[in-house]
C-alpha cells in the first residue's frame, strides 16, 4: 500500500509563481507564427491561452539568439528595421519586426513579468546599459527620449535581466573565471532607475558543471548577482528519439532523466548554501523541458516537436521538484512557450492546440504563490528492464484561504496505484481532475485537439483527516481539498 502524509501546519515556504515561468526565443515558429502574425499583429488565441494558465513571467529574446541580438535593430518604424541572419536556428532571415516594444507590450497584454536576456557574447557593456536605460528610465535622457519618440511615454520598469546566456557555450565559449569578470563589468553598468531594483541573473551552469557554479560564486561580488541560472534538458543527447511513437522503454528512460533535475537542485543548491548561506541568491532554472527529434519534414533548426502524456509527466515531476526546493529556486522557465521543444501551445495555421503540458500548468496553477506543504511519500516501485523509479510523485500546497492542492503523478505505464493520504487536518470536501490516456504517446492535433485533456476525478474518498483513492496509471491528478 502506498501512503502519503501531509504536514500542513509546517507549510512556511512560498512556491513563487515565478516557478511557473516560460521562455520565448526567436527560434523556429515561437515568435513568428507563435506570438506574432505575418501581418505584424499579436496572435490573440495564444495570448488568451497563456492568460488561462496565469503565466507569471516570460524570458526573451533567447537562448542562444540573445547573444547575437542587437536590440537597436528591433526598435523604431518596422519598415526601417534592418534584418539579420538567425545563425543559431535554421539560418533564416530575422526581420526584427518583433522587438523590444512588441515584447513588452505582449507582456503587458499577458499580465506577466518580462525577463530580458542581454547580449554578452557579441554585444557591449554600453549596449546593454543603454537597453536598460531605454526600457526603464523615466526622466530626460537620449535613450528615454528615443523610447518616447517610438511611442512609449512611460518606462516599463523591467526587473529581471539576464547577463548573457550559456556563456560557456553558444554565448561565447568562455571559461568561468573569464565570464565572472565579464559579469562584473556588465552587471555594474545595468543601473537601477527610479524605484525599480534590477534582479540580475548571471549565466549559470550547464547541467552538472559544478565547477562553473563554484567559480562564479567565488569570483563575483554577491551584491551584483541576484540570481544564478541553470539549464537542464530531459534528453538523451546521443539519441534524442521521437516525441511520439516511442515504446515503454522510451517512456521510462525520459521519466528517469527527469529525476536528474532533483539531483542538480540539491548539488548546485548545496554549493550556493556554502557561498551564500543566507540564501539571498536565487537559483534560476531558466531552461528546462524535453528535447526530442524534430517532427518529420520540419526544419531541423526549428526544434518543433509534438507533446504527449509523457511530457505531461515530465512537467508534473519538474514542478514538484521546484516546489520542494522553493527556498532556493526563485524562478524556472519551461523551454519553450509555442511551437518549440516542450511547448505548452502548438499552432497549425489558424488552429491552436493546447498540449498535455499546457493542461498540467492549468491543473497546477493553484500552487502559484501558495505555501509548500512538507510531505512524506512511501510508495512502491515502477520497474522496467531491471531499472526502478518511484511509482508515484507528489506535491501539496496551502492557499491563503486554507484550501490544499494535492498533485500526484503516477509514473507506472500500466498499474494504477492505491493510495492512502494522511491529510494532517480535516477538510469538508474534495474535488479532482486527472489527465491520462490509453496510449503513452497520446497527443493533441488540429484534427483531434482534445485527444488528451483532464477529466473529472471523483474517486477520492474523504473521511476525517484521511483520503483514499486509486491513482490512475500513467496520469497526472490534481485534488483540491476545501475546509
Contact residues for ligand AHR, defined by CB under 6 A:
25, 62-64, 165-166, 287, 335-336, 341
Q: Which is nearer to ligand AHR, 28 or 390 (CB)?
A: 28
Shortest separation between residue 123's beta carbon and ligand AHR, angstroms: 16
Catalytic residues: 166, 287
Instruction: Name every residue whose Cβ is closer than 8 Å to that of residue 127 and which is 6 or more positions away in sequence.
Output: 70, 71, 72, 119
Angstrom CA distances, 453 to 355, 449, 475, stand at 9, 9, 11
Handedness of CA 71, 72, 76, 80 (dihedral sign): negative
* CB nearer ligand AHR, residue 60 or residue 193: 60
For ligand AHR, give the closer residue by CB, 305 or 372: 305
Say if residue 63 is preceded by a cis peptide, omega within 30 of 0.
yes
For residue 283, give the H/E element and its range: strand 282-290
Least distance from ligand AHR to the Cβ atom of residue 287, Å:
6
**Smallest gap from residue 12 Cβ to ligand AHR (A):** 34
**Smallest distance from ligand AHR to CB 115, Å:** 13
Q: In 3-state terms, the chain is what percent helix, strand and coil (to 5)?
A: 30, 30, 40
Q: Which is nearer to ligand AHR, 336 or 480 (CB)?
A: 336
Residue 12, φ and ψ in degrees, nearest 5: -125, -30
| Contact by Cβ (8 Å): 417, 2 | yes
Q: Closer to ligand AHR at the Cβ: 165 or 436? A: 165
- With vertex at residue 107, the alpha carbon angle to CA 127 and CA 13, rounded to the nearest 5 degrees, is 100
Residue written as cell 531491471? Answer: 386
Q: Which residue of the chain is nearest ligand AHR when measured via CB?
A: 63
Minimum CB separation of residue 161 from ligand AHR in Å reads 16
CA torsion angle 210 319 66 71 (round to 10): -140
| 173 C-beta neighbours (distance < 10 Å), count | 12
Q: How far is the CB of 67 from ligand AHR (least distance, A)?
A: 9
Cβ atoms 230, 260 nearer than 8 A = no
Specify the residue, 27 or 158, whose C-beta has the smaller distance to ligand AHR. Answer: 27
Please answer whether residues 134 and 154 qualify as being in contact, where contact means their C-beta atoms are separated by less than 8 angstroms: no
Q: Are strands 2-6 and 375-378 parallel, antiparallel or unpaired?
A: antiparallel
Closest distance to ligand AHR from the beta carbon of 186 (Å): 17
Distant-in-sequence contacts of 298-302, Cβ < 8 A, 24+ apart: 299/28, 299/90, 300/90, 301/28, 301/88, 301/89, 301/90, 301/91, 301/92, 302/27, 302/28, 302/29, 302/89, 302/90, 302/339, 302/340
Between 68 and 253, CB nearer to ligand AHR? 68
Amino acid at each position: 500500500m502506498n501512503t502519503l502524509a501531509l504536514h500542513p501546519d509546517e507549510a512556511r515556504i512560498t512556491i513563487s509563481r515565478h516557478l511557473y515561468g516560460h521562455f520565448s526565443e526567436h527560434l523556429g515558429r515561437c515568435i513568428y507564427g507563435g506570438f506574432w502574425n505575418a501581418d505584424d499583429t499579436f496572435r490573440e488565441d495564444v495570448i488568451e491561452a497563456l492568460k488561462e494558465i496565469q503565466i507569471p513571467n516570460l524570458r526573451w529574446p533567447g537562448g542562444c539568439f540573445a547573444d547575437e541580438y542587437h536590440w537597436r535593430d528591433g526598435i523604431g518604424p518596422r519598415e526601417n528595421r534592418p534584418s539579420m541572419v538567425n545563425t543559431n536556428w535554421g539560418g533564416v532571415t530575422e526581420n526584427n519586426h518583433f522587438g523590444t516594444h512588441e515584447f513588452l507590450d505582449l507582456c503587458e497584454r499577458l499580465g506577466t513579468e518580462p525577463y530580458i536576456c542581454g547580449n554578452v557574447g557579441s554585444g557591449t557593456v554600453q549596449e546593454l546599459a543603454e537597453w536598460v536605460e531605454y526600457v526603464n528610465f523615466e526622466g530626460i535622457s537620449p535613450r528615454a527620449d528615443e523610447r518616447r519618440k517610438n511611442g512609449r511615454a512611460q518606462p516599463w520598469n523591467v526587473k529581471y535581466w539576464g547577463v548573457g546566456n550559456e556563456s560557456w557555450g553558444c554565448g561565447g565559449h568562455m571559461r568561468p573565471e573569464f565570464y565572472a569578470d565579464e559579469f562584473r563589468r556588465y552587471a555594474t553598468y545595468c543601473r537601477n532607475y527610479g524605484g525599480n531594483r534590477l534582479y540580475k541573473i548571471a549565466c549559470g551552469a550547464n547541467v552538472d558543471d559544478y565547477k562553473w557554479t563554484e567559480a562564479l560564486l567565488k569570483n563575483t561580488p554577491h551584491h551584483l548577482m541576484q540570481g544564478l541560472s541553470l539549464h537542464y534538458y530531459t534528453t538523451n543527447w546521443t539519441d534524442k528519439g521521437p516525441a511520439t511513437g516511442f515504446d515503454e522503454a522510451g517512456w521510462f528512460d525520459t521519466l528517469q532523466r527527469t529525476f536528474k533535475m532533483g539531483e542538480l537542485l540539491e548539488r548546485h543548491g548545496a554549493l550556493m548554501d556554502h557561498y551564500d548561506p543566507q540564501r539571498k541568491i536565487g537559483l534560476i532554472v531558466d531552461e528546462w523541458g524535453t528535447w526530442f527529434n524534430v517532427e518529420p519534414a520540419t526544419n531541423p533548426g526549428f526544434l518543433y516537436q509534438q507533446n504527449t502524456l509523457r511530457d505531461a509527466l515530465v512537467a508534473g515531476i519538474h514542478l514538484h521538484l521546484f516546489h520542494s526546493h522553493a527556498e532556493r529556486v526563485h524562478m524556472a522557465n519551461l523551454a519553450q512557450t509555442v511551437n518549440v521543444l516542450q511547448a505548452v501551445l502548438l499552432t497549425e495555421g489558424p488552429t491552436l492546440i493546447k498540449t498535455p503540458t499546457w493542461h498540467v500548468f492549468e491543473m497546477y496553477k493553484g500552487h502559484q504563490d501558495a505555501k509548500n506543504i512538507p510531505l512524506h511519500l512511501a510508495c512502491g516501485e515502477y520497474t522496467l528492464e531491471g531499472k526502478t523509479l518511484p511509482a508515484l510523485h507528489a506535491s501539496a500546497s496551502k492557499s491563503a484561504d486554507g484550501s490544499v492542492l494535492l498533485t500526484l503523478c503516477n509514473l507506472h505505464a500500466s498499474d494504477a496505484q492505491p493510495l492512502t493520504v494522511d491529510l494532517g487536518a480535516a477538510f469538508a470536501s474534495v474535488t479532482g481532475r486527472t489527465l491520462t490516456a490509453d496510449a503513452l504517446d497520446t497527443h493533441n492535433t488540429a484534427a483531434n485537439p482534445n485527444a488528451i485533456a483532464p477529466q473529472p476525478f471523483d474517486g477520492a474518498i474523504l473521511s476525517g483527516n484521511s483520503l483514499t483513492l486509486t491513482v490512475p496509471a500513467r496520469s497526472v491528478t490534481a485534488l483540491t481539498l476545501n475546509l
